[in-house]
A = this chain, B = another copy of it.
């Protein structure tokens, strides 16, 4: 068995030699180009030892390079042996140029094209050709051939989902109208979220996401070919999805798509979400691809009826779990218990497991004390976890998937920054400014057609005023028992497209991070709603999250009257909604945590 990274890279080099190839490029990706991968697809980890995201590994006959972004420059050195790999920055250095600098003209560069987007593939092909090299798309992934103890592909249950506002039949009918309207013959769905939403199914194939891995082709008449592990399809699947749905195993995808293209050549697809192998297959079969944002994604983003009810109900359960955890945490701090980041995360996990309907975490908990909170994507390790006792602030960012009685399903995501020690005036000032940004967004009313990019500014103004900023988006969409990071929508500085529409659920999570110092983030989930009480059709937000915001960290003299009123009004709502579910001790805590700010 190949146990060391060096042995694995050598084995890959042997493969290259045997197949007359000069290099192999491997990114962290799956054929859906999604955020998370199932264990059997963690090929980069197997080949390099690296566990982070957004990485590209290149192995030639005598060199190897690993390229990561700024978040992972420390981690890559800890995990990946420098005796085997050179380190590079994926955002500054061009891995393609690194490669051609090390290869003679005439070299043959291999990839598994199903792991690359169309744009990367086309640019790389042109780049390598320009350098006199050839880009070869392999029919197999060599890592899969070499990886002896490779985990099995996901095999969890696929379930019929009953929490949707509309039946699969109605959804397909609407999507079919959209396909006809745009003059296409069919729509390719490459995102499991879209396929699962359309067919009203759910799975647990990858960590944190409630989807079964799948692709689908929706025809203009509403028929759907879904490519999925058919062995795991639950009983009643065809009845549930209605006439016109045909499920096939993934292996059948090439032949069936080639067949479909003959009669349905005009196929709409999202170029950002389609892998190059699939795209080339369609084009080679004669498809006329039409690039567009996926209309299913937009429909999926706008929750209605029972879906919004489910999101609300999930957030109440999550609020109960969070309040219990925060009450316990305050006690631990008071008693001087030196809990560490891992035990705190475990405690919150237990608290969530103790409320009704908790199914799973919606992402890996970020539990960060003091300076660790300055790293936005920090995840504690038991051996290195920081302890309570020496720092002023603790940041916890977490969420869950819930399944409640009455077909109520929902997903949560919340961040709170909590006082766990003494804090400086600067820290309180920053905390207050972050909250001012949070309030400004929560409280905004806006014209239909307003984008997340237009609203993002209002959360940053209080920080910009002080010459500071935070380097992440203000908000992301959140799925309905699907994925916690859902596109659309986005509230950030670089996404001008797409308005916030009624029923979309988004996070509101401004922050501030001082490297090696501390980190602040305050996150609620909001649902876009009609403003209702005004004379033209404005939109506004409904908050879904009900958990106290730590007022002990505030500098009240910086707050305007209306900001204080917002805090007090929010806390009154929190108390009313959550207190009925708490025991006496917890209720006393909640009463205090929601005391009026004057």
Contact among B447, B449, B450, B467 with A531 in the assembled complex (CB-CB below 8 Å): B467
Given A453-B454, A454-B493, A458-B457, decide whether A538 and B464 contact each other with a Cβ distance below 8 A. Answer: yes
Given A457-B450, A458-B458, decide whether A467 and B560 contact each other with a Cβ distance below 8 A. Answer: no
Contact among B450, B454, B465 with A445 in the assembled complex (CB-CB below 8 Å): B465
Shortest C-beta distance, A426 to chain B (Å), equals: 12
Stoichiometry, as copies per complex, reads 2
CB of B493 within 8 A of CB of A464, answer no
A166 at the interface (CB under 8 A from B): no
A444 at the interface (CB under 8 A from B): yes
Using a CB-CB cutoff of 8 Å, which residues 168-212 of chain A contact chain B?
Answer: none
CB-defined contacts of A458 to chain B, threshold 8 Å: 457-458, 461
CB of A534 within 8 A of CB of B447, answer no
CB of B536 within 8 A of CB of A493, answer no
Given A469-B536, A535-B467, decide whether A455 and B453 contact each other with a Cβ distance below 8 A. Answer: no
Shortest C-beta distance, A440 to chain B (Å), equals: 8
CB-defined contacts of A450 to chain B, threshold 8 Å: 457, 493
Q: How far, in angstroms, from A460 to B454 measured CA to CA in the complex? A: 11
CB-defined contacts of A149 to chain B, threshold 8 Å: none
Q: How far, in angstroms, from A362 to B453 measured CA to CA in the complex? A: 34
Q: How far, in angstroms, from A91 to B106 measured CA to CA in the complex? A: 57
Using a CB-CB cutoff of 8 Å, which residues 467-496 of chain A contact chain B?
Answer: 467-469, 493, 496
Shortest C-beta distance, A213 to chain B (Å), equals: 34
CB of A468 within 8 A of CB of B536, answer yes
Q: How far, in angstroms, from A458 to B447 measured CA to CA in the complex? A: 13
Is the contact region of chain A dominated by helix, strand, or loop, or is it mixed?
A: loop
A456 at the interface (CB under 8 A from B): yes
Q: How far, in angstroms, from A545 to B566 measured CA to CA in the complex? A: 36
Contact among B440, B460, B467, B536 with A534 in the assembled complex (CB-CB below 8 Å): B467
Shortest C-beta distance, A469 to chain B (Å), equals: 6
Q: How far, in angstroms, from A454 to B496 measured CA to CA in the complex? A: 9
Closest to A457 in B: B454
Shortest C-beta distance, A346 to chain B (Å), equals: 38
CB of B467 within 8 A of CB of A444, answer no
Using a CB-CB cutoff of 8 Å, which residues 501-545 of chain A contact chain B?
Answer: 531, 533-536, 538
A466 at the interface (CB under 8 A from B): yes
A446 at the interface (CB under 8 A from B): yes
CB-defined contacts of A461 to chain B, threshold 8 Å: 440, 444-445, 458
Using a CB-CB cutoff of 8 Å, which residues 337-394 of chain A contact chain B?
Answer: none
Given A450-B493, A493-B450, A560-B560, decide whether A467 and B455 contact each other with a Cβ distance below 8 A. Answer: no
Q: Which residues of A contact B (CB under 8 A)?
A: 440, 444-447, 449-450, 453-458, 460-461, 464-469, 493, 496, 531, 533-536, 538, 560-561
Q: A440-B461, A445-B461, A467-B538 known; 5 other A-B pairs, CB under 8 Å?
A: A447-B460, A450-B457, A458-B461, A467-B535, A496-B496
Can you show 12 pairs from A to B with CB atoms below 8 A apart?
A444-B464, A446-B464, A447-B469, A447-B493, A453-B454, A453-B496, A458-B458, A467-B533, A467-B536, A467-B538, A469-B536, A560-B560
